[in-house]
C-alpha cells in the first residue's frame, strides 16, 4: 500500500537529502573532500569528474566531520589547515613556509579534528555506558538509604515515647502511694488534735462548775457557806491537762538531674564507626560492551572493511524462497550456524529447518512474537511467557531452564552480537513494560523501564534487536522505541502515515534499522539516528503481510509473512 503525500504527518522524520544542487534525492553517500552529501546517482557523476578523481566518497554513516572554518591570525585571508607538531598551534598553509616553522612537522588538521571527534565519541560512550548509569545506581542506593534511615529514626522515636509512657506510669503509681500515705498521716494527726481539744473542753467545763461552787460559798443566805467556812481543808483546782504539739511529716524532694532522667529513660548514641564507602563497580566490569575482546576487535575490523564496500542498492532483488513445514505462518526468524534457521508462528510451534526446507527439530511452547534468538555459542534461547521462563536449547537438543522472570511475562528476546548479552522485553499487569539485560550466565545487569522524565518507555515490546552502536531497538504498539546502551531514550519512530503498526525488527552492518509495518505491508528502512530513508519493500514486492525480518552474515534480508509459511530472501545492499 503506497503512502500518499496527504497521509504523511507534518512531524514525520525527513530522510537525508542529497546536497547536490537541485537534486533532492535520498542521501546515501558523503564526499569527505568536498564535505557534500550525495545520492547514488550524484556520487557516480562526482567520481567521473576528473577533479574529483581522488576524492574519498564513503557511505554517509562513515563520513568525516567537516573541520570548522577559522581564519589564521597571522594571515587573515587564509584558513587554518595544519597543526604544527613542534609548536602545537594551528596554522595556515602560508605559515608553513615562514622561518618560525622551518623544519617543523605538520599534520593535516582534519586528521587531528577527526581524532578529537573520535575521542569525544569514546568519552561520551564512557559517560553514557558507565559514569551516568553507575552514578544513577548510587543515587538509587542513596535514596534507599534515606528511606531506611527515616524508618530507623521513626522506630527510635516510637521506642522513646513508649519508654516515657512507661516511666510516667511508674511515677504516677509512686506519687499515688505517697499521697495515700500523706492522707493517713494527716488523719492520725488530726485525730490526736481532736482528742486533745476534747480534753481541754472537759477541763473548761470542770473549771466552770468550780467557779459556780465558789460563788455559792460567797452567798450570805446559803447555809453551806458557814459549813465551808468552818472546814479546815481547801478545795484544790485540778491542773490544766497537758497537750503536745503535733509533729508533721517532712517531704524530702527528690534530687534528680537531667542526666539521671536520661539514664532512667535511656539515651541515643551515634556509634563511633567510620562510615563504609559505597562500592563503585569498576569500569571494566560495568558493562561488557565497554571492553571488547580481541576476537570482537577483529570482528569489528572485518565489519568495518565490509562497510567500506557496501551501500544501498538502487533496487531490491529476491534471491531465494523457502517453505517452512511445521508452522502455519512466520512470526519470527532466527538464523543459526551451519545454514540453519529457527521459525515460530503464533500457535506455539517452534521449528528448526535447513536451507532445503527439511525439518530438523520441532518443539511446542507458548505462542509469541520475537520470542527466540540464537546466541554467539549457537544455542537457541526462547521465551515461554505463560510459564515466565527463558529456556535454552543446546546443539545436542537438550532443553534446560535458563532464566526465571518472576511475575513478568517475557515477550521478545535478542542475543547481542556485540558481547553476548541477552535483551528481553517483558510485560506485567498494572506495571509499565520493561527491557531487562542479562549477561551470558543469566544474571540481570540492567533494567530499562522509564525515560528521564519518569514516564514508561514501553507498552508491549513484542520484538527487540540491537544495533551496531549498542542501541536497543524495540518494536512496540504503534512506535519503534530506541534507547542507547545505558538505557537513555534516543528517539521514537512513528512511521510515515496516519497509522503505524510495527512488528519484526532487525539491523544490518551499516547500522540501518529495518522494521515490518503490518498496515501498509511494507518494510521501512531507517538510519541508526531514526531518519526515514525509504520503503525498502512494498506490498507489490512482498505479496503477503511482512511480519518478521533478519539479516544474515552475507547481508541478505530474510522476510517472513503473517499469512503463509514462506520465507523470502532479498538482496538490498551492493
Residue 16 reports pLDDT greater than 80? no
* CA–CA distance, 537 with 546 (Å, rounded to integer): 9
Q: From 540, 552, 531, select the one nearest 335 (Cα to Cα).
A: 552
The yes-or-no verdict on residue 13 having pLDDT over 60 is: no
Q: Is 145 left (phi over 0), alpha (psi -120 to 50) or beta?
A: alpha
Tens-place pLDDT, residues 366-403:
877 889 999 988 889 999 988 999 999 887 778 899 99
**Cell 525509504 belongs to residue:** 534
Q: Which H/E stretch holds residue 213?
A: helix 132-217
3-state helix, strand, coil in the chain (%, to 5): 30, 30, 40
Alpha-carbon distance 524 to 574, whole Å? 18
Q: Pull the grid cell for residue 99.
A: 622561518
pLDDT of residue 189: 92
| Beta-sheet pairing, 82-84 with 106-108 | antiparallel
Q: Residue 287: what pLDDT?
A: 43
Cell for 139? 543515587
What is the rounded CA–CA span in Å between residue 549 and residue 521? Answer: 13
Pick the more confident residue, 81 or 504.
Answer: 504
**pLDDT digits 0-9 by tens, 514-556:** 999 988 889 999 998 999 998 998 887 765 688 999 999 889 9
Buried b (16+ CB within 10 A) or exposed e, 339-371: ebbbbbbbebbbbbbeeeeeeeeebebbebbbb
Beta bridge partners of 560: 548, 567
Can you read off the three cell numbers belonging to residue 125? 560512550
Distance CA 558, CA 547 (A): 11
Model confidence at 103: pLDDT above 60 = yes
Contact 512, 528 (CB under 8 A): yes
Q: Map out the domains of the chain with their CATH numbers.
A: 11-62 (3.30.160), 151-265 (no CATH), 313-573 (2.120.10.30)
Average pLDDT, the chain: 84
- pTM score over 0.85: no
Amino acid at each position: 500500500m503506497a503512502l500518499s503525500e496527504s497521509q504523511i504527518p507534518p512531524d514525520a522524520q525527513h530522510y537525508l537529502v542529497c546536497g547536490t544542487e537541485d537534486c533532492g534525492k535520498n542521501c546515501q553517500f558523503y564526499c569527505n573532500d568536498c564535505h557534500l552529501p550525495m545520492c547514488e546517482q550524484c556520487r557516480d557523476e562526482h567520481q567521473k569528474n576528473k577533479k574529483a578523481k581522488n576524492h574519498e566518497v564513503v557511505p554517509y554513516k562513515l563520513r568525516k566531520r567537516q573541520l570548522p572554518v577559522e581564519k589564521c591570525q597571522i594571515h587573515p585571508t587564509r584558513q587554518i589547515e595544519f597543526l604544527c607538531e613542534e609548536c602545537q598551534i594551528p596554522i595556515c598553509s602560508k605559515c608553513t613556509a615562514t622561518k618560525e616553522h622551518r623544519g617543523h612537522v605538520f599534520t593535516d588538521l582534519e586528521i587531528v579534528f577527526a581524532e578529537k571527534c573520535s575521542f569525544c565519541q569514546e568519552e561520551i560512550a564512557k559517560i553514557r555506558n558507565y559514569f551516568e548509569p553507575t552514578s544513577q545506581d548510587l543515587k538509587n542506593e542513596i535514596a534507599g538509604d534515606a528511606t531506611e534511615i527515616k524508618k530507623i529514626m521513626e522506630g527510635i522515636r516510637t521506642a522513646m515515647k513508649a519508654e516515657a509512657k512507661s516511666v510516667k506510669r511508674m511515677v504516677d503509681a509512686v506519687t499515688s502511694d505517697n499521697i495515700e500515705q500523706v492522707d493517713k498521716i494527716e488523719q492520725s494527726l488530726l485525730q490526736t488534735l481532736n482528742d486533745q481539744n476534747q480534753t481541754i473542753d472537759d477541763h473548761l467545763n470542770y473549771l466552770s462548775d468550780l467557779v459556780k461552787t465558789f460563788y455559792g460559798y460567797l452567798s450570805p443566805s446559803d447555809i453551806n457557806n458557814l459549813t465551808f467556812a468552818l472546814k479546815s481543808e481547801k478545795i484544790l483546782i485540778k491542773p490544766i491537762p497537758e497537750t503536745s504539739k503535733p509533729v508533721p511529716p517532712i517531704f524530702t524532694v527528690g534530687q534528680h538531674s537531667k542526666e539521671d532522667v536520661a539514664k532512667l529513660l535511656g539515651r541515643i548514641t551515634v556509634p563511633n564507626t567510620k562510615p563504609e564507602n559505597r562500592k563503585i563497580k569498576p569500569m571494566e566490569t560495568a558493562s561488557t560492551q565497554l571492553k571488547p575482546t580481541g576476537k570482537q576487535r577483529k570482528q569489528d575490523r572485518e565489519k568495518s572493511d565490509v562497510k567500506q564496500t557496501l551501500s544501498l542498492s538502487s533496487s531490491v532483488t529476491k534471491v531465494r524462497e523457502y517453505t517452512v513445514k511445521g508452522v502455519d505462518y512466520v512470526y519470527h526468524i532466527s538464523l543459526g550456524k551451519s545454514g540453519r534457521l529457527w521459525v515460530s508462528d503464533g500457535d506455539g510451534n517452534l521449528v528448526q529447518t535447513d536451507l532445503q526446507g527439511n525439518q530438523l527439530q520441532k518443539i511446542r511452547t507458548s505462542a509469541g512474537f520475537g520470542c527466540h534468538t540464537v546466541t554467539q555459542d549457537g544455542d537457541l534461547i526462547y521465551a515461554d511467557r505463560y510459564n515466565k521462563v527463558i529456556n535454552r536449547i543446546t546443539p545436542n537438543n537438550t532443553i534446560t531452564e535458563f532464566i526465571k522472570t518472576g511475575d513478568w511475562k517475557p515477550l521478545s528476546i535478542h542475543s547481542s552480537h556485540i558481547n553476548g548479552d541477552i535483551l528481553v522485553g517483558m510485560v506485567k499487569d498494572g506495571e509499565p513494560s520493561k527491557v531487562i539485560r542479562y549477561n551470558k550466565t543469566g544474571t540481570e545487569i540492567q533494567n530499562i523501564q522509564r525515560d528521564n522524565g519518569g514516564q514508561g518507555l514501553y507498552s508491549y515490546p513484542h520484538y527487540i534487536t540491537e544495533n551496531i552502536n549498542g542501541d536497543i531497538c524495540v518494536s512496540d504498539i504503534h512506535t519503534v522505541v530506541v534507547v542507547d546502551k545505558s538505557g537513555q531514550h534516543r528517539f521514537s519512530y512513528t512511521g510515515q502515515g496516519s497509522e503505524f503498526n510495527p512488528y519484526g525488527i532487525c539491523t544490518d552492518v551499516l547500522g540501518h534499522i529495518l522494521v515490518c509495518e503490518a498496515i501498509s505491508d511494507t518494510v521501512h528502512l531507517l538510519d541508526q539516528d531514526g531518519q526515514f530513508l525509504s520503503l525498502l519493500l512494498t506490498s507489490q514486492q512482498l505479496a503477503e503481510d511482512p511480519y518478521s525480518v533478519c539479516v544474515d552474515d552475507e547481508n541478505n534480508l530474510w522476510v517472513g509473512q503473517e499469512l503463509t509459511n514462506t520465507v523470502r530472501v532479498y538482496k538490498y545492499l551492493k
